[in-house]
Amino acid sequence: MALMAPTQQVKRRATNQGAAVKEALAAEDTFRSAQDVYATLRASGEKIGLSTVYRHLQIFVDDGLADVIHKPDGESTYRLCGDASTTHHHHLVCRQCGKAVEIEGPAVETWADKVAAQHGFSDVNHTVEIFGLCTACAA
Amino acid sequence: MALMAPTQQVKRRATNQGAAVKEALAAEDTFRSAQDVYATLRASGEKIGLSTVYRHLQIFVDDGLADVIHKPDGESTYRLCGDASTTHHHHLVCRQCGKAVEIEGPAVETWADKVAAQHGFSDVNHTVEIFGLCTACAA
DNA sequence: GTCTTATCGGGAATCATTTTCATTATTGCA
DNA sequence: TGCAATAATGAAAATGATTCCCGATAAGAC
């Protein structure tokens, strides 16, 4: 249940598949679903299985290399977000194309902690995502 | 895609099942899953189908009577939150038992709108949820 | 009471994600 | 460099929440 655990890279083998998934994510600054990444890789001739895509995406999250956003329809989307040392941040996401901008809101962080403390909640954690239509999709 | 659409109650028949679902939700101030509500109702002898539970929960959301929170594991949880005229608010949720406290953060609202505007995003929307362990569950 | 039709509900169908497990490929080490 | 130990892979099956289908049921109108 430990939260906020910093980087603690577990021994990990270097494989083509792992690199391919990372590349696919790195190629776009949008949040993408596992199914989407899988389809893209297969379309580009990559030899990889769906399970493997899921596995690597989860690994990136565990290692703090990627962020996840759970869309309202239940699908999980991933995006590389610097290494684990990167500051805590949130996202402004286009609900149409998934393009995301990293944003910070120091005030929000402190506010969240304060509110939680006032109600006696511990081991606090929060999610803040702003959705909208990017200029491109607004057309 | 119209957001923030205020109450526009469609003609709706009064049924035992609908009342039962609402009662089940009203009995607790926690976010509960459809499966959970269904199990509770059946356990208490209520004659109702799973589809019906889903249907009513969705209706409550559409009518602005309930709020939804999509848990990281993909499950959707519901909670009655006043009528549609109730002010926009967020939640401080216990990730263990689901107990929730309604909270407000006017500053967050304006911040979100400003950030979105700065990046040219329109039709903005946001989700802010604070998770933690309530005093009861911290034990 | 009777008719019209919204609502039910059980089961099949979806769909994303996870698990299983036999096969394959990396890495550490002799 | 060669090889054993074992992490990684992937195809198929399993899971689990949610939705769809459609004949049966019941609420509201007259």
Q: Which residue has the higher pLDDT, A77 or A85?
A: A77
**Separation of alpha carbons B28 and B10, rounded Å:** 26
pLDDT in tens, A56-78: 999 999 999 999 999 888 899 99
pLDDT in tens, A92-122: 999 889 999 999 989 999 999 999 999 999 9
**Separation of alpha carbons A106 and A46, rounded Å:** 41
Residues of B with CB under 8 A from a CB of A: 68, 70, 72, 74, 76, 92, 94-95, 101, 103, 105, 107-108, 111-112, 115-116, 119-135, 138
- pTM for this structure? 0.89
pLDDT (0 to 100) of residue B9: 53
B:65-124 Cβ neighbours of strand C under 7 Å? 74
Six token digits for residue B49: 């189908």
Cross-chain CB nearest to A129 (options B127, B131, B133) = B127
Selected for mutation to probe chain B from A131, A134, A135, A137 (highest B CB count within 10 Å) is A131
H-helix or E-strand spanning residue B8: none
Q: Provide the mean pLDDT of chain A.
A: 90
- Report the 10 Å Cβ neighbour count for A10: 7
**Which of B34, B124, B51, B137 lies closest to B94 in space, CA to CA?**
B137
Average confidence (pLDDT) over B106-113: 94
SS3 B59: helix
pLDDT (0 to 100) of residue B2: 41
Work out the minimum CA distance from B76 to partner chain A, whole angstroms: 8
**Separation of alpha carbons A39 and A46, rounded Å:** 10
Reply yes or no on whether the pLDDT at A18 is more than 90. Answer: yes
